[in-house]
Structure 1
Amino acid sequence: MSSLPDTTARHAPENIAILLREPFRRMTEQTIARLAERGHPQVRYAHGNVFQFLDDAGTRVSVLAERAGMTKQSMAQLVEHLETHGYVERVSDPADGRAKLVRTTARGREVFAVVREFIAETEALIEARLGADKLARLRALLTELDAAL
């Protein structure tokens, strides 16, 4: 069953945004499922907005929100959830004692390890299906597309 809506445009060739979105969405769903299998069921799709924009030394909520393109309040809710479940902690910013940095805990670093493992497996699967040359070309084309946009 398709997750795409049944619309009159469904019979036209897919636009490039959907062709990019759908594999990403499927990979993300599989990543979340893997995290749950590995003992991290509290991590959901939206929490990627925290994890993917964290600096190793920690990042202010306002910076995370800006990087993710969301409000500071929404980001603060995501951080609070992850903090409650032990994935991140808030610590004083050494550059400004009034500010707090969000940084990963050991449990949060487990999430990164699971995701890195899953991505390596997924890329190996893609290479097995497409071949090394096509995968290299896909990477080059996506890099070129990103630069063009």
Structure 2
Amino acid sequence: MHEDARTNTGLLLYYPYRDMEIRVVEALHAAGFADLSYAQARIFQRIGPGGTRTVQLAEQARVTKQTASLLVQALEEEGYVERRPDPADARARLVSVAERGRAAQAVAAGVVAEVEEQWRRRLGARRYAALRRALAELHEEPGDVRSPPADHGAPG
């Protein structure tokens, strides 16, 4: 079954996000972070300010724990993140952003702000604010975010 992209709301949501993601990664590469892959960026952007466990990163990125672990390992080897013991559970480790990662975050934040400003100008302030409210409401709906089966990675 093929749905026209004009009527498939999921694709209409995905295309602007994907455009932003491409612009962010291109800017990161141009700024000297050429070793950062799209898959790594998808994990990296989900690290919270106090650090995040790998299993939580996997759930948020909708990938398997094994995939997230491999991506975190590569990010650590490239100097973007560091792992440290979780103060709440000595058996667990938190992934936190390292100095190089903070520099990459600054570049990414600038691009995100630029893209969001372009969207705001295109839609107008009122429509842009309504869009953000609607998307936030959809995001907050309990049970809407499902994890992929353990033997399948996330699409894209």
TM-score range, shorter chain: 0.7 to 0.9
Taking the aligned partners of 1:147 and 1:92, their CA distance within structure 2 comes to 30
Unpaired runs of at least 5, structure 1: 1-6
Match of 1:145 among 116, 127, 138: 138
**What residue is the counterpart of 2:71 in the other structure?**
78
Identity %: 41
Taking the aligned partners of 2:84 and 2:78, their CA distance within structure 1 comes to 16
- Structure 1 residue runs of 4+, over 6 Å off? none
TM-score normalised to structure 1 length? 0.82
Instruction: Note the aligned Cα RMSD (angstroms).
Output: 2.2
**Structure 1 residues 103-118: aligned runs within 5 Å:** 103-118=96-111
**What residue is the counterpart of 1:38 in the other structure?**
31
Unpaired runs of at least 5, structure 2: 145-156
Is the Cα–Cα contact under 8 Å of residues 6 and 12 in structure 2 kept in the other structure? no
**What residue is the counterpart of 2:43 in the other structure?**
50
**What residue is the counterpart of 1:3 in the other structure?**
none
Bigger relative contact order, structure 1 or 2, given CA contacts below 8 A and separation 6+? 2
SS at match of 1:101: strand
SS at match of 1:124: helix
